[in-house]
Amino acid sequence: MKYTIKYKAHNTYETPVDEALWQFLIIPENNDSQELVREDFTNSLRVAIESSINGYGFNTYRIHPKKQFKDIHFDATFVVKKSKPEELKIAQKEAKIDIYSVLHSLEFKSENEPFLRTTPLTQLPENPTDIFSFDITVSPFANLQALNKWIFDEFTFKPNVTTIESSLGDILETKEGVCQDFTHLFCAIARKNNIPTRYVSGYLHRGIGYLGDSQMHAWVECLLPEVGWVGFDPTNNLFAEIHHIKVCHGKDYTDCSPLKGIIFTTGANETSYSVEVTSPEDDEKILSQTQQMGDMVQTPSVGTISQIQQQQQQTKKL
């Protein structure tokens, strides 16, 4: 499957900015299941763009304007080829070892300590009630599937009800949030049960009506002995596979923030951004499906297809 990703950001400032330094963590990773075919990143000030590597080894863009400005646009386009991760195929087979004994071993814990660690954003409240519990009579993989479904069933995707400072106690109480919140909750519960779990940031294909596809998305990767890192998307109760395009991973959102920076100015500022992920293959499928509806639906234009997708997303879980 080939995807085109378009990332746009627009920053405006009340008073002139004398100097700024930004780091963008938005470049799709090259790995066994995806290949970055093309990348293009520009800014309206035409400032030189530098490349760097962050602490986890992921590529970033760095921009350092040294002249005054009050408005700046950023535009990125990526083309990615994606296939189904092999680890998922392996995880669905019966394990040949006692995985629980490996998960509890000191050697395994010490090797994977960073992703077993509790952080402020993955801290569960003391003695939480009505929270998911692992069933040790079934495999860790089956438990992770059940945890994925539990979060999807119990919590409602609702933007603008949480912030990055919201605690897991807040999420558990309101039962509402966005993909970052549900990913932090998954990390907390999986790590509590000795499964190394990474917070993942990336893109989600928009064409299927998934939740969280209009911005950068978040999901998890869990390390299973004899298998490797397997991705789960609790926002949509999915495995993270062909429609999930990875950018980076870390312990939590703070390691994966798409944009970090320092601005030398005073007064208010506004930031807006959007993400669009398209695939010619799926656009053709959507067009074919609408044509098969015959007289009930008029053959749609590209704009109408987009409206149909938005309606599917809104009705999936509100």
What would the pLDDT profile of 145-170 be if each residue is shown by its tens digit? Answer: 999 999 999 999 998 898 888 899 99
263 compared with 313, residue with greater pLDDT = 263
Looking at residue 138, the DSSP 8-state letter turns out to be: S
Residue 48 in this model has a pLDDT that exceeds 70: yes
Determine the pLDDT at residue 302: 34
Cβ–Cβ under 8 Å, residues 245 and 3: yes
Strand pairing report for 156-157 and 176-177:
parallel
Average pLDDT over residues 30-45: 95
Residue 94 in this model has a pLDDT that exceeds 80: no
Residue 285 in this model has a pLDDT that exceeds 90: no
| Interatomic CA distance for residues 160 and 142, integer angstroms | 32
Query: Residue 167 carries which side chain, given as an amino acid letter?
Result: S
Residue 318 in this model has a pLDDT that exceeds 90: no
Average pLDDT over residues 216-235: 94
Cβ–Cβ under 8 Å, residues 309 and 315: no
| Interatomic CA distance for residues 211 and 111, integer angstroms | 34
Average pLDDT over residues 132-143: 93
Rg (CA), the chain: 21
Residues of the chain by 3-state class (helix, strand, coil), percent to 5: 30, 35, 35
Q: To the nearest whole number, what is the mean pLDDT of the chain?
A: 85
Model confidence at 264, pLDDT cuts 50, 70, 90, reads confident
Strands (E), 102-166: 156-157
Query: Residue 116 carries which side chain, given as an amino acid letter?
Result: L
Domains and CATH numbers, the chain: 86-256 (3.10.620.30), 280-316 (no CATH)
Determine the pLDDT at residue 282: 61
**What does pTM read for this prediction?**
0.85
